[in-house]
Amino acid sequence: MMESVQRIRYPSFDYSNIDPSSIPIIEVIVRSDSKPPTPFRIGNEEGWMVEWRGKKTGDDLLPIIDSVTTTATLPFLMRTRDGWYIEPDSIHAIARKLIAPTVVILIMSLLLHAIAPVISQNSILLQSYQIGPLDYPLLLLITFPIFVLPIIMRSFANYRDINNQNYYIQNPLDEPEIDLKIGNGNVTINSMKMPEGVIVEAARLQVGVAVPERASILKALDRDENEQPPPGMSTPLPERRIASVEEHGTGVGEAIPMPIAHSRVLILEPLRVCSRGELVNLNGGGSCTLQGPEERWPGSIYSSLIALHWELIVYVQRSGAKMQWVKPIIMQGPEEEINIEKLPLMSSRAEISEK
């Protein structure tokens, strides 16, 4: 058995409101039949981080986890990050940006209405409008519809998302025929043939770290499943898998908007830890080379705690709906040790993750 050390402080769902240093770093010795990868470290001790290295003096007291170490994509990633996906409606992102200003407008209108008698006896702030037997402040009748506007927009966007998902279920697409050549941190598309009615727009190569396995986290922290979960995790959802972060108790039901009942999820869950290569326009067709991130990342490597995942994403349109075709890539890693100072993060919500 080969032993190596994994250290990880994975970002929680709402990581922007959490101080990373308040969450303990998970440190374990991983035992596996396979050789560990070239040592790498992404992030730093004060922030979110992922590290895989050899054993050092003093590591013998760390918890030991038996885990498969492989370059083959794990089954749960093949189920949730392979094939065709619907992009959430762009109205979701607009609605979310409007939430804060509309709440401020409503609070200000309530405040102005409360102090209106002190300001002026004839102010518009004191005017009311009668609906049935009751009088309602005119200012609130103006601001309240503004306040509920994001809710109406989200409902409309959810309706369109459900329609797009149902249309795909009723009219599924075949896999595209793509001739790929995987290079050193890049992928060359030699040829691409999409199903009829699909218009290719762009493509990119990206790499990220998937959510750690819940059982391994609890074992590393010496926690029982029936006890209070560690910081950054919720209790697991009792229903079937919706998205990987929800199964592991870190998505709290908000990673993807309005998924419908289907054999697999049709909206792509964001990789919370993700670094992207340049988006390449493919409107003209033909061959192209997709480069990975500017900083050199490790190759594909998977275990129960650290799963470093490369994938190709092709952005398309079909009948006016924006879609993505996602293909896991087995990327070879460099021979030299990798040290990236900051762990790159993306929004945990699919509807506001930037293209």
pLDDT of residue 355: 63
pLDDT of residue 243: 45
pLDDT of residue 252: 44
In a domain, 64, yes or no: no
Same domain, 162 and 235: no
In a domain, 5, yes or no: no
Backbone angles phi, psi at 82, to 5 degrees: -150, 120
pLDDT at 33 over 50: yes
Counting Cα atoms < 13 Å in the Cβ hemisphere of 273 gives: 25
In 3D space, the residue among 165, 352, 327, 134 whose CA is nearest the CA of residue 262 turns out to be: 165
pLDDT of residue 58: 86
Distance CA 47, CA 8 (A): 10
Q: Which among 170, 202, 231 is the end of a domain?
A: 170
pLDDT of residue 305: 92
pLDDT of residue 209: 95
pLDDT of residue 123: 59
Same domain, 213 and 155: no
Q: Which two tokens stand for residue 243?
A: 């998205």
Mean pLDDT over all residues of the chain?
85
Number of folded domains in the chain? 2
Same domain, 249 and 117: no
Let me know: does 233 contact 245? Beta carbons within 8 Å: no
Instruction: Report, as an integer, the average pLDDT of 217-229.
Output: 82
Q: Which among 137, 154, 170 is the end of a domain?
A: 170
Same domain, 157 and 295: no
Distance CA 290, CA 103 (A): 43
Let me know: does 113 contact 51? Beta carbons within 8 Å: no
At 184, which amino acid appears? Answer: N
Same domain, 301 and 336: yes
In a domain, 236, yes or no: yes
Same domain, 265 and 164: no
Instruction: Report, as an integer, the average pLDDT of 186-203.
Output: 92
The parent domain of residue 146 ranges over 92-170
Residue 20: strand, helix, or coil: helix
What is the signed CA dihedral for 66, 72, 76, 78, rounded to 10 degrees? 180
Distance CA 6, CA 208 (A): 16
Instruction: Report, as an integer, the average pLDDT of 53-73.
Output: 90
Same domain, 84 and 144: no
> pLDDT band for position 132 (50/70/90)?
low
Number of neighbours of residue 234 by Cβ within 10 angstroms: 16
Instruction: Of 156-170, 211-225, 290-304, give the lowest mean pLDDT range.
Output: 211-225
Distance CA 218, CA 115 (A): 53
pLDDT above 70 as % of the chain: 87
Let me know: does 13 contact 55? Beta carbons within 8 Å: no
pLDDT of residue 48: 94
Let me know: does 195 contact 174? Beta carbons within 8 Å: yes
In a domain, 58, yes or no: no
Same domain, 214 and 296: yes
pLDDT of residue 234: 72
pLDDT of residue 98: 93
pLDDT tens, residue by residue, 264-308 = 888 888 899 999 999 999 876 678 999 999 999 999 999 999 999
pLDDT at 192 over 50: yes
In a domain, 182, yes or no: yes
Instruction: Report, as an integer, the average pLDDT of 342-349.
Output: 89
pLDDT at 14 over 90: no
**Taking the CA atoms of the chain, what radius of gyration do you get in angstroms?**
25
pLDDT at 12 over 70: yes
pLDDT at 344 over 70: yes
In a domain, 8, yes or no: no
Distance CA 321, CA 168 (A): 10
Same domain, 196 and 135: no
pLDDT at 347 over 60: yes
Let me know: does 157 contact 92? Beta carbons within 8 Å: yes
pLDDT tens, residue by residue, 239-259 = 443 444 444 444 444 677 777
Distance CA 329, CA 323 (A): 19
Same domain, 234 and 122: no
* Angle made by CA atoms 119, 124, 130, in degrees to the nearest 5: 125
Q: Which among 170, 193, 214 is the end of a domain?
A: 170
Instruction: Report, as an integer, the average pLDDT of 329-350.
Output: 91
In a domain, 17, yes or no: no
Same domain, 227 and 319: yes
Same domain, 100 and 123: yes
Residue 95: strand, helix, or coil: helix
Number of neighbours of residue 298 by Cβ within 10 angstroms: 25
pLDDT above 90 as % of the chain: 51
pLDDT tens, residue by residue, 68-113 = 899 999 888 998 899 999 999 889 889 989 999 999 988 888 887 7
In a domain, 50, yes or no: no
pLDDT at 7 over 90: yes
